[in-house]
Structure 1
């Protein structure tokens, strides 16, 4: 990949043009040579959602650069969970690697340059599962390296490879086996963090000790954990989650939403980490500053997931 426009990009907005417009405009600056535009259908009877969905679909008329454009605008609504899985499956039917952006994940230009360098570098290294655009631990400059590896991160603007996506477990996870094996304790190297994850799994598992997550990102992350996989974390935040639960900005969570990004066009990687292992200091700070601090929010998510199951 010689330029940032060489990276294939999947964009899947839905019904929030306030956010989708900003993310789409960021993509337009990059002018990807291969651009995939996916959009689920709005739900029947939701007039405002239908209106906004149509507004977003019309963005397609603004693509004025030369590119291999593929679109998939659904004729019926299938729901967020299956919709996202289908969108990424569709993307990787054609591409070996690429960037994945939801409507409320606003990337800096530097994010594309970051992925341009690292997608080819780790293409054949199955230890690395994805490249994250997120680093919400501000001023985490623990080393001289321009990125780190970690076994946890958000996927609010990310990149991955076809074979990693195809390695995601689409079926039930054997939670009892994960707990008995002390998988999180071995990988996270922290008793408090491990216990937190185990307690969540115990809440989610069914009476037979199995769980089929109805959240695509948790399904991906748990598959990564079960395979001992790692995420690449940039030294600086490169993608901002601008979504604040619909249009209600008063519910913004300042520890994870609207975090400033590195506003440059290039992300020079001068020094790569010498070892492909998890940075446990970052993991501890991630849980302490983001997960544990936002535990009430996570409990709401847990209850919603339990209702879905």
Structure 2
């Protein structure tokens, strides 16, 4: 007879991780508290010329069978070679959703609150057959959306730091970017970008990703949402912390102290808990005010805020004597100004 505890919630959870043990441990501790019924572990392989092997082994040790103290179904896919963040996100999601109809996704730096699991379960069941909804988000840049009385709202802008969806959505993603090659589909995408006031360089990002030879989750999933007039569900309070900035692995290192103050808030805001039972919106309708605030924080479609961020970043790097960062930033800004900066 097994000495393991029963699962607490009938939910599938996919964890994408690599070699960042400190980050992954924080995510894993929250998953362990939630005790979902199904676990999917996807790990990218070691990068050439790095010391990834130790971190990779330590991450695997955390999620060995003997370290899972509840009854659950476990699936693992550990790559031998390194694919990078793209296409690992897309590959891991397609793999998991081929085996489960509904799933929650975390990268190794997306630390959830406990109510996020309950929220996802209820939303996945309630909106399972509602094709207007393509994603359930967890990271709310407002921290608290004070002008919403309900427990959640609907939006077409969201972060991919902790989310959930359905196989009906993920199986519809076009990893070959045929919608870019199809002139009518691409014209429709451009129309939707304008109609829904998406960031102006989105179509360039899609084209760059299509030509990269990799399946890039961000452009594929976002294009699917727009082409299908979809929306995401956003909780009225923030349920995710991202703890990965500057920790290496798939991302460039950096210091929070060098980020403009308003952007720094994204990495330092509170992780809160939703109250249950949930209060549901009366209708499925986009809430545009959130998009305006989201764009302002990220300086999307806002040249003055971009200038402000650039000047603040320049000043912070000067204070810290980071002249290499300054040169790199100036080069990137010139490339972006003339449309020469490629999304990778």
For 1:79-158, list aligned pairs within 5 A: 79-158=84-163
Equivalents in 1 of 2:172, 2:205: separation in Å?
A: 25
- Hey, what does 1:271 align to over in structure 2? 279
**C-alpha deviation, 1:110, in angstroms:** 0.8
Q: Secondary structure at the match of 1:131?
A: strand
The count of residues paired between Structure 1 and Structure 2 equals 293
- Hey, what does 1:191 align to over in structure 2? none
1:36 to 35, 40, 44: 40
Distance 1:174 1:46, change over 3 A: same
1:73 to 71, 78, 81: 78
- Hey, what does 2:240 align to over in structure 1? 239
For 1:106-255, list aligned pairs within 5 A: 106-172=111-177, 173-174=179-180, 177-178=186-187, 182-188=191-197, 194=198, 197-202=199-204, 205=207, 215-247=216-248, 248=253, 250-251=255-256, 253-255=263-265
**C-alpha deviation, 1:32, in angstroms:** 1.3
Does structure 1 residue 259 correspond to structure 2 residue 269?
yes
Where structure 1 has 5 or more consecutive residues not aligned to the other structure, the ranges are: 189-193
Q: Is the 8 A contact 1:129 1:224 kept in 2?
A: yes
**C-alpha deviation, 1:115, in angstroms:** 0.8
Cα deviation digits, residues 80-104 of structure 1 (max 9, x gap) = 2122222111111210001001000
Q: Secondary structure at the match of 2:226?
A: helix
Cα deviation digits, residues 19-43 of structure 1 (max 9, x gap) = 1010011111111121111111112
Task: Choose between structure 1 and 2 for higher RCO, CA contacts under 8 A separated by at least 6 residues.
Answer: 1
For 1:14-25, list aligned pairs within 5 A: 14-25=18-29
**C-alpha deviation, 1:222, in angstroms:** 2.0
Looking at CA atoms only, which structure, 1 or 2, has the larger radius of gyration?
Answer: 2
**Coordinate RMSD, CA, aligned:** 2.9
Distance 1:288 1:35, change over 3 A: same
Equivalents in 2 of 1:245, 1:304: separation in Å?
A: 26
Q: Is the 8 A contact 1:12 1:87 kept in 2?
A: yes
Q: Is the 8 A contact 2:12 2:39 kept in 1?
A: yes
Q: Is the 8 A contact 1:134 1:240 kept in 2?
A: yes
Where structure 2 has 5 or more consecutive residues not aligned to the other structure, the ranges are: 1-6, 314-328
Equivalents in 2 of 1:77, 1:304: separation in Å?
A: 28
**C-alpha deviation, 1:119, in angstroms:** 0.6
| Bigger mean CA deviation after superposition, 80-89 or 24-33 | 80-89
- Hey, what does 2:30 align to over in structure 1? 26
Distance 1:205 1:83, change over 3 A: closer
**C-alpha deviation, 1:141, in angstroms:** 1.8
Does structure 1 residue 284 correspond to structure 2 residue 292?
yes
**C-alpha deviation, 1:268, in angstroms:** 1.3
The TM-score, its normalising length taken from structure 2, stands at: 0.76
Q: Is the 8 A contact 2:139 2:159 kept in 1?
A: yes
Distance 1:69 1:214, change over 3 A: closer
Cα deviation digits, residues 144-185 of structure 1 (max 9, x gap) = 211000011001000000010112222334397447963223
